[in-house]
Amino acid sequence: MESMAFVRKYIDSFLEWELIILFHFNPGIREEDNGIARLVGRNQEDVRKTLKKMCEKGLVQGELIDGKDFYFYNPTIELKNLISNFIEGLSNYETRISLISEILNK
């Protein structure tokens, strides 16, 4: 299952999961960590740390503008396909439960 392989390799938390979905469905977002934290209703520091990890994995990219870190979605085509497959897999109840279980066991 491609979705499971993606979760095992790229997703370490439900916050990462949530941010991947946010960026996938809103690919034009170019925002600071505090703005992204507001969008998902999460703690800014947690979002900042998670976004930095996601940058290291190539899930999002960061850009320094006027001394501020902005984050945006620009994955490789291969990674974009993996993300799309992951999101498609979420529509299946059994797959979603398996993926949730994988995150809980990390």
Residue 2 has what pLDDT?
87
Task: Write the CATH number for 62.
Answer: 1.10.10.10
Burial group, residue 36, by CB count within 10 angstroms (0-12, 13-18, 19+): buried
Q: What stretches in the chain show pLDDT beneath 50?
A: none
- Write out the residue range of the structural domain in which residue 23 sits: 2-101
User: Is 75 inside a domain boundary?
Assistant: yes
What pTM does this model have? Answer: 0.91
Average pLDDT over the chain reads 95
* Distance, CA of 91 to CA of 87 (rounded, Å): 7
Close Cβ partners of 18 (under 8 Å, ≥ 6 residues apart): 40, 42
> How many domains is the chain partitioned into structurally?
1
User: Is 41 inside a domain boundary?
Assistant: yes
User: Is 106 inside a domain boundary?
Assistant: no
